[in-house]
Amino acid sequence: MSNTISEEQKSSLHWQKVSPWALLYFVVYFSVRFVKDGLLNLLPMLVVFVTQVENKLFWAQVAGGAALITLLVYSFLYYLNFKFCISDDHEILLNKGVFKKERLTLKFSRVQNVNIAEPFYFTPVNLVNCIFDAAGSVAQEAVLPGVTKSYAEQIRKQIFAFKAQQQTDDEHVEQSEADLAENSLRISNKEIAKFGLMSNMAILAIAALAPFINVLVDFLEKKIISKVEGFYQQELGMLANAATFAMVTLIVMLVLMAVLLSVSMSLIRFYNFELYFKGQKFKRVAGLLERHQLSMSMDKVQSIVIKQNLMGRLLKRFTVECLQASSGGIVAGVAAKKNKQTLVLPVLNSKQVDSVCQWIYPWFNSKKLVFKRAERALLYKNLGFYSLLPSALVFGFCFIADINTLISLGVLVLFSGLVTLSYQRYGYYMHEDNGRFYMVVRRGMIGVHYRIFELYKAQSARSISTYLMRKSGLKSLYIQLASGFVFMPYIKQQDADFIIDFTIKQIESDTRSWM
């Protein structure tokens, strides 16, 4: 991207305004920005307001009215200054800002995806948001709000046509759209609700209330717990039992509310989920308040993650993520998952997982993967550090405190079981298909986590070993990807060296582009 344009070009540029309905987008956009960023900084002030200020309703109305007026005025000024242009030099130009004016230039060649989102407030007027994603970077994306769907489709075709002209591929014969088969997948809203049970959104919702927990507990104690306790006391006739039942009832209510919130958030995000695959490209449409359309080329998929947590095991469902390139580094995996251009298939059964993965990797069959496990030295080491040592500490504490020392035996059995499950999950599998080489790495404990990637898309490969591992001829394998990393501990030294050398050879010899 560039923030400068020559003076000669300015006179020939045809600047356009977005629809006046785009003002709604700016109001919603800055409202969300305020909630996500502003409220976090205002949390100390909010806590003081809730706990110290009298006549809260009056001052809350004053503050809310002032914030609303400020939001509307700022959004209107932002709309007046917002202009865009599609130049003859194959660039998207944006002028925006209120106090700080910004000129944004995005070249067609830097656009990775062009996605179309249809918010609920644009549905009656048949307008959409056209979103340009630059190399998978959320911070560098450009949005044209309030344009017609036909215009957004036209821009997308124009950009992809330009990119197709810039790329040459001697390995594949081009096919017309009519000759290409289309695969599709639809997930029912009943299944989407299950994702709400599988995800950690309920935990995040509870964590968001942490700063107000004291105020919330006081409120619930006065308004709910006392009444519930009185009800149980009248029914049971015992004060102690009544108080206990009241607290249990409150906890159950809070858990159910958190679960309901998690399910609702899942439905809002993935409502009427539709996925299409045609011409080596994914197209996903989903969302309740905003029908968001995401497009992704198969070549841009850096790795596929298949995961199943405890709730997923109970429901016999998996979550699949197709990750693009992230910012790299230690937190590359976190950045890839936070990237809203990541393609997430929230809840699939085992047959659907195989079917979708086979669109990209035709050889993939989860039941036929023969994994090579980690060496037993890993199990012995983890049993010593994470099972025997904690149980010995618990035994010592129980002995000193004169508590039943059999508790340490329970800790030993529990931790030994978890360590054994973790050891059994570790494994890797390598596969060759039509001259292309792939790797699948598995890990987990109660749940399971698979990562599938093509070797030439790796960025680096190295090994890690301690003194005792070297004495036993063992190494741990570490492969860095553009969408995270894979780690396979305690494999034979010759196997680790072979994988590293072979991976580096694939990286250096394969000239295919994957960015």
Digits of tens for pLDDT over the chain (515 positions)?
A: 444 444 444 446 788 888 889 888 888 888 877 776 666 666 666 666 666 666 767 767 777 788 889 889 988 999 898 998 888 888 888 888 888 888 888 888 888 778 888 888 888 888 998 888 775 444 456 888 988 988 988 888 888 888 777 764 434 434 444 445 578 899 999 999 999 888 876 666 666 655 556 666 666 666 666 666 666 666 555 555 666 666 677 777 777 777 888 888 888 889 889 898 887 788 888 888 778 888 888 878 889 999 999 999 999 999 999 988 754 444 444 444 455 568 899 999 999 999 999 998 999 999 899 999 999 999 999 999 999 999 999 999 988 888 888 888 999 999 999 999 999 999 999 999 988 999 999 999 999 999 999 999 999 999 999 999 999 999 999 999 988 899 999 999 999 999 999 999 999 887 776 66
Give the C-alpha separation, 454 to 452, whole Å. Answer: 7
Q: How many CB atoms lie within 10 A of CB 187?
A: 21
Cα dihedral value 49, 52, 54, 60, nearest 10: 0
Tell me how many helices (H) and strands (E) the chain has: 18, 20
DSSP of 244-271? HHHHHHHHHHHHHHHHHHHHHHHHHHHT
Question: Is 139 exposed, middle or buried, given 0-12, 13-18 or 19+ CB atoms closer than 10 A?
Answer: exposed
The whole-number pLDDT of residue 230 equals 64
Q: How far is CA 353 from the centre of its chain?
A: 18
Per-residue HEC secondary structure of 304-337 comes to EEEEECHHHHHHCCEEEEEECCCCCCCCHHHHHH
Whether the CB-CB separation of 221 and 234 falls below 8 Å is answered with no
> pTM for the complete prediction?
0.74
3-state helix, strand, coil in the chain (%, to 5): 50, 25, 20
274 is written with which tokens?
Answer: 């539709």
Q: What is the pLDDT of residues 98-113, one digit of tens each?
A: 888 888 888 888 887 7
* Contact status, residue 153 vs residue 116, Cβ threshold 8 Å: yes
Distance in angstroms (rounded) separating the CA atoms of residues 456 and 360: 15
Q: Which two tokens stand for residue 418?
A: 């978890």
Q: Is 284 helix (H, G, I), strand (E, B) or coil?
A: strand
Residue 281 CB neighbour total at 10 angstroms? 16
pLDDT digits (tens, 9 = 90+) for 341-361: 688 999 999 999 999 999 989
Q: State how far Cα 401 lies from the chain centre.
A: 46
For residue 289, what are the CA distances in angstroms to 132, 183, 201, 427? 20, 26, 18, 41
